[in-house]
Amino acid sequence: MSLNRLQKIISDTGLLSRRKADLLIKQGRVTLNGRQAILGDKADPISDHILVDGKDLPKKLNHRVFLINKPYGVISSCQDNHGRKTILSLIPSNLRHGMHPVGRLDFDSRGAILLTNNGELTLRLTHPKYSHTKTYLVWVRGRPNQVVLDNWRRGILLDDKITMPAKIDVLDRINQKTLLKVILKEGRNRQIRRIATLIGHPVQDLQRISISNISLNGLAEGKWRELKTKEWISIIK
């Protein structure tokens, strides 16, 4: 008998992420062998009877991961009430079932974003405790000096909390704009844009070029490719 945490079993089906599975368990919406499940429960996905909202779990999915080079004007959600183009629309319709974006990338930003049905991968790449890096190329207005950049590197007060240290390199300066390479280990809402505005050098263009060890590597804007297991498996080990 192979026992795993209940939230991992649920996320492995591709139904939802580990974090959302935790929430369902806390809300009392998961039962294990006829009783209400609690956080910390372990189960065997084959021999134990697990229900979510009164329904049997779907069979475990073959995990798939797609890398997309998101263009401007596409939202990183599965659906949109305002009729805007979603990240799911960039892959063929027959591949969309059970897929969800890993984290987010702003409507007015572009670059690397992942789609997957692997809840464990989503957790590892979005939860701050795992500290996976994300790398961005950012054009900002003006010419930020060393003092300003050092402050950003050490951490900026944002939402009453100091940001984690960031690695920032100046790659180019053209007239009154500067190209920065920014590497973060966290991803607060519109973090780079908000900090750039706070320090007086608003973002003019933002492109994410890599997520952990996964890079665009020449993938054209608006295009996608399926990753081989060996490209992402180390993230969840």
Q: What are phi and psi of 87, to 5 degrees?
A: -65, -30
Q: Number of helices (H) and strands (E), helices first, in the chain?
A: 6, 17
Q: Which amino acid is at 198?
A: L
Neighbour-count burial of 131, counting CB atoms closer than 10 A to its CB (0-12 exposed, 13-18 middle, 19+ buried): exposed
3 state DSSP class of 148: helix
- Classify residue 230 by its DSSP letter: H
**Which residues are marked as active site?**
106
Distance CA 184, CA 192 (A): 9
Q: What is the DSSP string of 2-66?
A: --EEHHHHHHHTTSS-HHHHHHHHHTT-EEETTEE--TT-EE-TTTS-EEETTEEPPPPPPP-EE
